[in-house]
Structure 1
Amino acid sequence: MSDSAETFTNIDAALTDVVEPGADASQASQIHLTAQHPLPYWLVNVPRNQWPATCPDFLKGLPDKNIEILATLDADYRRLNWDGVKDLVRTNDIGKFQRVPSDLRRYLEYMFYIKQKYGSVMDFVLTERLHWDADDLKPRGPAFEHDDDFKVLYNDWPYGLDREIVHLVIWTKFDLDEDPATGLLTPSMWKKIDDYIEKTFRSRISPDHIIWFKNWKSLKSIHALEHFHVMLYKPDRDFIADITHGDVPLVEKIAQGA
């Protein structure tokens, strides 16, 4: 069997498994699937009885990277292991982090909804996740000296990583100073963050099970709110519940119908 035919067969078989008996196939019959014309990216990983007639607005005009991910079956996606995570961070190749295809679809749909309801993702995060007043974002003091100036939460839409990896985001009211020439953290800011990591995480978790990074400006989904990322391998879940004050990521809340 050719590669293209095998790909089509795998997609069709996966979708056939989720078709409910007696489901209306009128929409599906309008989409002609062949090995030469595989399933459009906006239908992959969607149960056949839920296929939209046209590409949803939240999936239009996407960059090639996202389209390639969305066109991949969840069953064919390979989660990144801990060594792979460390390699990407240490080589500053963080642009290669990506979400599980169906998670990416849900993420894009939710971001589309958020922008319509709140005006911007930043306004949503401030109001619903951080519970910070947009008119009171001035830090009380230097970096990490006041608990009110930063907050630790789950990454609401984590990357497609080993399920033993916990992805946290530390949001800050204070600036995370960068070198304007390189876009990288200044040495003094890097040390302040690493000292915080040492005090907060390395005292509780093996240093080899912790890694942190700050997104390049081009990769930030929320530009007006400073934040950096911490990934932990096999951490104590009670510790995570304590440091996040019992936070639950949005992706789990949505899955639970909250």
Structure 2
Amino acid sequence: MADSRGNDSINVPFWNTNLPPELHTKDCPSYLEYAFTNEKDRQMLSTPDSEYRRQTWPEVQQIINDNRLDLFLRVPSDLRRYREYCARLTEEYGTVMAFVMRERLRWKNVQPTAEPFQNPVLIPTQDDYTILHNDWPYGIDTRIVHLVIWTKFELPAEPITAANPIGDLRPEARRQINDFVDKTFVSVCGRENVIWFKNWSSLKSIHAIEHFHVMLFDPDREFVRRITNGDMPLAEKVGKVGEII
């Protein structure tokens, strides 16, 4: 448990939690300084991985059904790696969005060629949308596969106003996504094993590239490999805490 200065109950600064002693630093790394004013993340970064309890499939379903996406958490050391890696991407590519476009999607333009979801499904290389793993999954049951569907076409959200502070999806966009998810995932995995969400406009970590999320409970791995064209999340490719490459 961390106080506002970033020290936990045994006086280890949050930025040193989950690091071996030889990697402890006196000062907070620049990519974690934001946590001084972000209590939720500071508490997570102060938590030993051994004390973290992964969110279950029923809990994941409840979070999404209640539209409380802010309740999703990451394993503490994964949150640190995520923040460190994003900082490195920003330094190298200018923005995380530029990295996603160049290295993950490899799209040369974002102009759609058809109406939303009109290309045949189950083809991972179509022009208008691509299905990839979430590079930095939440701290959920490891049987849950977290995918991201990146689209060139817009999925309109309501404008953010005082009465609508989160910018949730418009009804027509929600219907289009529902139809796509049913045809692509529910038909294979079963409705009880599929759920989707789209981050509120106010929660998006990557703006300007349209995308939404699909979670599958314990799906057939060959289906996942095929639908993602053999993709792997970056979290499985980069180094451990203190070893980001």
Residue 50 of structure 1 is matched in structure 2 by: 23
Query: Runs of 5+ in structure 1 lacking a partner?
Result: 8-32
Residue 143 of structure 1 is matched in structure 2 by: 116
Query: Runs of 5+ in structure 2 lacking a partner?
Result: 120-125
Residues 125-184 of structure 1: per-residue CA shift (max 9 Å, x gap)? 000100111xx2110011011331000000000000000000000000000012226422
Residue 99 of structure 1 is matched in structure 2 by: 74
Say which of 121, 130, 133 aligns to 2:96. Answer: 121
Structure 2 distance, partners of 1:36, 1:150, is 47
The number of equivalent residue pairs is 225
Residue 223 of structure 2 is matched in structure 1 by: 239
Could you tell me whether the CA contact under 8 Å between 2:168 and 2:201 is conserved in 1? Answer: no
Structure 1 distance, partners of 2:211, 2:170, is 15
Structure 2 distance, partners of 1:101, 1:198, is 33
Residue 122 of structure 2 is matched in structure 1 by: none
Q: Provide the secondary structure at the position in 2 that maps to 1:107.
A: helix
The aligned amino acid for 2:158 is: D
2:232 matches 1:248: yes
Residue 167 of structure 1 is matched in structure 2 by: 146
Instruction: Report the aligned-residue RMSD.
Output: 1.9
**Cα 1:36–1:179, aligned 2, differ >3 Å: closer, same or farther?**
closer
Structure 2 distance, partners of 1:65, 1:229, is 22
Could you tell me whether the CA contact under 8 Å between 2:134 and 2:146 is conserved in 1? Answer: yes
Shift of 1:37: 5.5
The aligned amino acid for 1:174 is: F
Residue 187 of structure 1 is matched in structure 2 by: 171
Ranked by relative contact order (alpha carbons within 8 Å, sequence separation 6 or more), the top structure is 2
- Which structure has the bigger radius of gyration? 1
Identity %: 46
Residue 188 of structure 2 is matched in structure 1 by: 204
- Scaled by the length of structure 1, the TM-score of the pair is 0.83
